[in-house]
Chains A and B, each alone.
Chain A
Amino acid sequence: MAYDDYIRKRFFPHIWCPGCGHGIVLNALTRSLDSLGFDKNEMVMVSGIGCSARISGYVDLHSMHTIHGRALAFATGIKLSRPELKLIVPMGDGDALAIGGNHFIHAARRNIDITAIVINNRIYGMTGGQYSPLSGVGVRATTAPYSNIDPAFDVVEMATAAGATFVARTTTYHVREMSKFFQKAILHKGFSVVEVLSQCPTNFGRRNKAGDAVHMMESYKNGTVVAGSADDVPGSGKIRRGVFVEKTAPEYCDEYARIIRVARKGA
Chain B
Amino acid sequence: MKNKTAFIQGNEVCARAAIYAGVGFFAGYPITPSTEIAEFMARELPKRQGTFIQMEDEISSLCAVIGASLTGCKAMTATSGPGFSLMQEALGYAVMAEIPCVIVDVQRGGPSTGLPTHVMQGDVCQARWGIHGDHAIVAMTASGNQELFKITVDAFNIAETYRTPVILLLDIPSEGEIEVVERLRTAVKQGVDFHPYLPREDGRLPMSDFGGVHRYNVTGLFHDMWGFPSDDPQVVHGLLRHLADKINNNVDNIARFKEYYLDDADLVLVSYGSSARSALHLVESRRRRGEKYGLLELQTLWPFPHSIVREKCANARYVAVVEMNLGQITKEVKEAVDRPERVYLLNRIDGVYITPTDIRNMLRVIQGRGV
Give chain A's interface residues, CB within 8 Å of chain B.
49, 67-69, 98-99, 101, 124, 126-128, 130-131, 133, 142-146, 150
Contacts and interface: CB of A to CB of B under 8 A. Distances in A.
Contact of B46 (A68, A98, A128, A146): A146
Given A98-B56, A99-B56, A131-B54, A143 B82 contact: no
Contacts of B30: 124, 127-128, 130, 143
A142 B42 contact: yes
A40 B112 CA distance: 28
Given A98-B57, A99-B29, A143 B38 contact: yes
Interface in B117-144: none
A220 to B, nearest CB: 26
B39 A67 contact: no
Main secondary structure of the interface of A (DSSP, over half): loop
Given A67-B112, A127-B32, A133 B56 contact: yes
A128 B38 CA distance: 12
B42 A68 contact: no
Given A143-B39, A143-B42, A67 B82 contact: yes
B43 A130 contact: no
B55 to A, nearest CB: 8
A142 B39 contact: yes
B56 to A, nearest CB: 4
Contacts of A131: 54
Nearest to A150: B54
Interface string B22-56: 00000001111001001100110010000010101
B18 to A, nearest CB: 16
A133 B52 CA distance: 16
A254 B35 CA distance: 43
Given A67-B112, A67-B113, A127-B32, 20 more contacts: A67-B82, A99-B29, A99-B56, A126-B32, A127-B31, A127-B35, A128-B30, A128-B32, A130-B30, A130-B39, A130-B54, A142-B35, A142-B42, A143-B38, A143-B42, A143-B52, A143-B54, A144-B42, A145-B42, A150-B54
B32 to A, nearest CB: 6
Contacts of A68: 82, 113
A65 B148 CA distance: 35
A172 B54 CA distance: 28
A142 B35 CA distance: 9
12 contacts: A67-B82, A68-B82, A98-B29, A98-B56, A124-B30, A127-B30, A127-B32, A130-B35, A131-B54, A143-B52, A145-B39, A146-B46
Contacts of A128: 30, 32, 35
A143 B38 CA distance: 7
Contacts of B31: 127
Contacts of B57: 69, 98-99
Contacts of B29: 98-99
A2 B112 CA distance: 36
Given A127-B30, A130-B54, A145 B82 contact: no
A146 B31 CA distance: 21
Report which residue of A49, A68, A131, A150 has the largest number of chain B beta carbons within 10 angstroms of its beta carbon.
Answer: A68
Contacts of A101: 56
Nearest to B85: A67
A49 B82 CA distance: 11
A150 B53 CA distance: 10
Contact of A145 (B35, B43, B112): B43
B99 to A, nearest CB: 23
Contacts of B56: 98-99, 101, 133
A37 B74 CA distance: 58
A204 to B, nearest CB: 14
A150 B35 CA distance: 19
A127 B113 CA distance: 13
